[in-house]
Amino acid sequence: MRAYYFDNLPGDQRLPHDFNPSRPVSQETLEAIGVKSWEIPVERYEPKLNAVAKERDYKNRDTINVSREGMGAIYEEKIKGFFQEHMHEDEEIRYILSGSGFFDVRQASTDEWIRLAVTPGDLIVIPAGIYHRFTLDEADNIKALRLFKDEPKWIPHNRGVETDANPYRQDYLKSIGVGA
């Protein structure tokens, strides 16, 4: 996974949106905002992925194919929805099997976007309460395992005053030492 600051320039969300020169983001910075990642080669990934799942108490999983072929008529609507800034009350855990894309996460202390460019073998954990969004890149497809602690919950809470006051958002901010 490659992490860098998003340039915020207008244009296709599927482009890299990297500064020139790039402004890379360190693993330490990601850990400070609660984002965790591992690289697990896709060939024979199951033992290592299962070990992480056991360690983090992930009990369920499924596979998602985000592509025109995989999603059919709802593809454009879903891509637009994934790219709306939101948070969840559960961790978002993804292991990339094929394809590629971008997860953008907000660095709460600066409100800057950090772009996470994911490719096969990347496992990422986006903490509950962090503002984030997702988009495909120009290859226009990604296949990922989604892992869950319990039953999947698909409730995105779009950024706003009400979501800022959400207890999961407040707990997240406390956990990273931001805010009251």
- How many structural domains does the chain have? 1
Averaged pLDDT score across all residues of the chain: 95
Give me the helices (H) in the chain, please.
27-32, 46-55, 68-71, 75-82, 161-164, 167-175
Write out the binding residues for Fe(2+): 86, 88, 92, 132
Reference 63, options 54, 72, 71, 55; nearest CA is: 71
Write out the binding residues for Ni(2+): 86, 88, 92, 132
68 located within any domain = yes
153 located within any domain = yes
**Amino acid type, 37:** S
180 located within any domain = no
177 located within any domain = no
Q: What is the pLDDT of residues 70-112, one digit of tens each?
A: 899 999 899 999 999 999 999 999 999 999 999 999 999 999 9
CA distance 43 to 34: 28
> What distance lies between CA 134 and its chain's CA centroid?
6
Reference 115, options 132, 127, 140; nearest CA is: 132
Question: What is the span of the domain harbouring residue 14?
Answer: 2-172
51 located within any domain = yes
Question: At a CB cut-off of 8 Å and minimum separation 6, what does 2 contact?
Answer: 24, 116, 117
CATH number of the domain encompassing residue 155: 2.60.120.10
45 located within any domain = yes
Q: What is the pLDDT of residue 152?
A: 76
20 located within any domain = yes
Write out the binding residues: 86, 88, 92, 132
Q: What is the pLDDT of residues 117-139, one digit of tens each?
A: 999 999 999 999 999 999 999 99
179 located within any domain = no
Instruction: Quote the tokens at residue 28.
Output: 């330490």
Q: What is the pLDDT of residues 17-76, one digit of tens each?
A: 999 999 999 999 999 999 999 999 999 999 999 999 999 999 999 999 999 998 999 998
Q: What is the pTM of this model?
A: 0.95
